[in-house]
């Protein structure tokens, strides 16, 4: 069972070596590693050069943004299972891919898995500053803006062929829309893996500031409506009230 791992990058020279090395350290052997670079202006490609023999496919060209790059990588993939590991993230342990494959092997009808991740902050990459557990996720929570941890989502490649790719009209919430479409609307068979798969550096477009969060909420409403799922801005914003009240079980539910 081949697993395609896609890393999208743009001006990622400071972090991408950690990403690549975490893939190289995996105990599972049948990995296809794809790097899609958006024509970086820093020395990202030079950082990648020592790892070229390990990278199965590397493309560096202008793109239309993060989700365009993800779609390119998915179309390039030949694996049975596809996952995305961004260029400022890395696998939490060496047996991540092995754990994913074991879940699929245990259930031939399984179409996707998701799990937990944790956040770190530079320069200390060993201290957990926030834990995101997908354990308590249920599909109805999409209507309130919740979703499983997207970086831990591994899905059979045939699902992309059948149900489509990331919606590039959404600048922030295309990952939310894709999971909504696959899990809630198309009802693909998913399983939660009780494991911390990915370490993420704090930051990113969707959590950069209040304005981007507001824009993200508007895009989540749009994603629901275009998929025939009823919600509204008040329902989506409820997740922030939960955070204010300290009821953060979806991100802090411990093992």
| pLDDT value for 253 | 47
Instruction: Report the CATH number that the domain containing residue 234 is assigned in CATH.
Output: 3.90.550.10
**Angle in degrees, 0-180, between the axes of helices 210-226 and 233-245, rounded to the nearest 10:** 130
- The three-state DSSP-derived secondary structure of the chain is CCEEEEEEECCCCCCHHHHHHHHHCCCCCCEEEEEEECCCCCCHHHHHHHHCCCCCEEEECCCCCHHHHHHHHHHHCCCCEEEECCCCEEECCCCHHHHHHHHHHHCCCCCEEEEEEEEEECCECCCCCEEECCCCCCHHHHHHCCCCCHHHCEEEHHHHHHHCCCCCCCCCCHHHHHHHHHHHHCCCCEEEEEEEEEEEECCCHHHCCHHHHHHHHHHHHHHHHHCCCCCCHHHHHHHHHHHHHCCCHHHHCCC
Q: How far apart are the C-alpha atoms of 148 and 179, rounded to whole Å?
A: 8
Show the tokens assigned to 214.
Answer: 């507001």
Could you tell me the mean pLDDT of each successive run of 10 residues in the chain, 255 residues long? Answer: 98 98 98 98 97 98 96 98 97 98 98 97 92 93 95 98 97 97 98 98 63 90 96 90 53 45
| pLDDT value for 249 | 46
| Domain, as residue range, for 90 | 3-252
Domain count, the chain: 1
Q: How far apart are the C-alpha atoms of 178 and 132, rounded to whole Å?
A: 19
Cβ–Cβ < 8 Å for 153, 112: yes
């Amino acid at each position: 069972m081949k697993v395609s791992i896609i890393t999208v990058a743009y001006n990622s020279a400071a972090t991408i070596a950690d990403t690549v090395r975490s893939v190289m350290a995996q105990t599972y052997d049948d990995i296809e590693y794809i790097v899609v670079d958006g024509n970086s202006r820093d020395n990202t490609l030079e950082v990648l050069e020592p790892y070229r023999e390990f990278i199965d496919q590397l493309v560096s060209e202008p793109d239309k943004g993060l989700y365009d790059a993800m779609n390119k990588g998915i179309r390039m993939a030949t694996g049975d299972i596809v996952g995305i590991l961004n260029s400022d993230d890395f696998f939490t342990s060496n047996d991540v891919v092995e754990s994913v494959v074991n879940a699929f092997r245990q259930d031939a009808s399984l179409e996707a898995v998701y799990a937990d991740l944790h956040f770190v902050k530079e320069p200390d990459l060993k201290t957990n500053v926030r834990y995101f557990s997908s354990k308590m996720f249920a599909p109805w929570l999409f209507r309130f803006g919740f979703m499983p941890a997207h970086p831990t989502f591994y899905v059979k490649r045939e699902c992309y062929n059948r149900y489509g790719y990331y919606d590039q009209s959404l600048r922030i919430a295309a990952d939310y829309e894709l999971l909504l479409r696959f899990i809630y609307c198309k009802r693909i068979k998913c399983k939660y893996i009780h494991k911390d798969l990915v370490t993420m550096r704090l930051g990113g477009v969707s959590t950069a500031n209040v304005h981007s969060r507001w824009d993200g909420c508007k895009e989540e409403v749009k994603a629901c409506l275009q998929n025939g799922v009823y919600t509204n801005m008040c329902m989506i914003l409820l997740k922030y009230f939960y955070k204010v009240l300290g009821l953060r079980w979806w991100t802090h539910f411990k093992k």
